[in-house]
Amino acid sequence: MANRLLLDVPIRRLHDVVAVRRGCREVAARLGFAPQDQVRIATAASEMARIAMTYANGGSAALSLADGPPAQMTVTIGGHDPGFADALDGTDSEYESVRAGACRLVDDCRVEARRDGAAIVLEKALPAGLPADAGRVAAADASRAIDAFSVKAQPGDGTDELQRQNRELLQALAELNQRQDELRGLTRELEETNRGVVALYAEIEEKAERLRQADAMKSRFLSNTSHELRTPLSSIRALSQLLLDRIDGELSAEQERQVRFIQNAAIDLSELVDGLLDLAKIESGKIAVHRATFSLAELFGALRGMLRPLASNAEVALLFEVEPAGALLHTDEGKLAQILRNLVANALKFTEHGTVTVSAQVDADGAHFSVTDTGIGIAHDDLQRIFEEFEQVRNPLQRAGKGTGLGLPLSRSLAALLGGTLSVESAPGKGSTFTLRLPTDAIQPAGAGTSDGAPLERP
């Protein structure tokens, strides 16, 4: 790295310190430093020149330009006194505070031992885009400025003022540095907080992923297990029916009671397995919606036949109302029937007197089905809970062993699969109304085709 000497200013008297300051400022301006940086370099150099004056009784300031990289301006303040190095090495508090302040004004600041004393070297990187002859012009300008000052100056001129200015500048700088430190501290704190938040997000994301995996595993497990249970359960049901039909010979009254017990248990278990399997299929998105066109009257006819055996209580009337009578629907008939069957079976189960009314309304908004009973009703606090898996409300009609707690969650999932919603309103002691709303695409406009039957995969 070539080092070009631009200027050498002797420091013999105090007013030479001012000359150093002027020279440095001129050179820095010529080399393209911003005004603030010009003041910084000039201040650091003149303060060090003052130190050389005080501790070495004089010396010299050499301003040079290093080509780099990095290209930089160097001010070397030499103190030509063998004791200067020791003086700088000592613990003089004034020198220390001036040195610390001056060092902050430049990029690098160090003390080098010399044969005839010591030198303080200050360096500051040049701003980009230095003109080719800037060094030469800077040297000439600085010399002129120093000469002009020296001709006019009297010993002691400006030195006190300079010292005062420098002290103020150093103090302002110290305050600025303190603010910068505070700002750095705040930034660090903010960065740490941000890192914490990011880590927290990552943790939540990881937990959510684990939950998703656990959920998928649960569905797979339910689906596999339920599937495996179905075959033995059908065998138990079929075999118990064979026994009850006396195919293998007469049964005693006690034997018949016990076989019926086995058969009922197998039927209950089959319902549970079917419910679990359906839920697992819906959750895993493997269930297909088969849309077809059918009439509301046909659907209600089929439901009436299917539900009649359940309506065994003579004190409860099962009523069907269709509006308009000839309305057509275009949706998955099997799934719609399954939802309504669940709702009507519940209504009959929880109603001792009065009516269970199944009604359907088709209008421009879509199809609305409601199952209204005059039964025991559901407390307000339980209205959400009953749509969760395995949730049942304690009540006198909750016959032991009957029901799985899966009917409503399954019905709600099926309703969502058909693009609709299932909701409930109820008053304890008065009865409940479950409402299924299907969107307009579940309605077949009058006169349109009868059936497409195309399976539609839903996510």
- List contacts with ligand ADP (CB under 6 A): 342, 346-347, 350, 373, 375-376, 378, 386, 391-393, 398, 403-408, 432
Instruction: Indicate the burial class of 155 (C-beta count within 10 angstroms; 0-12, 13-18, 19 or more).
Output: exposed
Closer CB to ligand ADP, residue 165 or residue 398?
398
> Rounded to the nearest whole angstrom, what is the least distance from the CB of residue 354 to ligand ADP in the complex?
12
> Rounded to the nearest whole angstrom, what is the least distance from the CB of residue 432 to ligand ADP in the complex?
4
Q: What is the DSSP string of 384-398?
A: TGGGSTT-----TTS
> Rounded to the nearest whole angstrom, what is the least distance from the CB of residue 395 to ligand ADP in the complex?
6
Residue with tokens 């349109």: 448
Closer CB to ligand ADP, residue 55 or residue 350?
350
Mark 262-299 as b/e (b = at least 16 C-beta within 10 Å).
ebeebeebbbbbbbbbbbbbbbeeebebebbbbbbbeb
> Rounded to the nearest whole angstrom, what is the least distance from the CB of residue 386 to ligand ADP in the complex?
4
Closer CB to ligand ADP, residue 83 or residue 354?
354
**Residue 80 near residue 116, CB atoms below 8 Å:** yes
> Rounded to the nearest whole angstrom, what is the least distance from the CB of residue 188 to ligand ADP in the complex?
56
* Closest residue to ligand ADP in the complex (CB): 407
Rounded to whole angstroms, the Cα distance separating 357 from 347 reads: 9
> Rounded to the nearest whole angstrom, what is the least distance from the CB of residue 359 to ligand ADP in the complex?
15
> Rounded to the nearest whole angstrom, what is the least distance from the CB of residue 309 to ligand ADP in the complex?
17
**Residue 357: φ, ψ to 5°:** -115, 125
Closer CB to ligand ADP, residue 28 or residue 393?
393
Dihedral sign from CA coordinates of 118, 124, 130, 131: negative
Closer CB to ligand ADP, residue 404 or residue 444?
404
Q: What is the DSSP string of 145-157?
A: HHHHHHHH--TTT
Dihedral sign from CA coordinates of 326, 327, 332, 334: negative
Closer CB to ligand ADP, residue 67 or residue 274?
274
Closer CB to ligand ADP, residue 32 or residue 405?
405
Rounded to whole angstroms, the Cα distance separating 222 from 406 reads: 13
Rounded to whole angstroms, the Cα distance separating 75 from 72 reads: 10
Dihedral sign from CA coordinates of 271, 277, 283, 285: negative
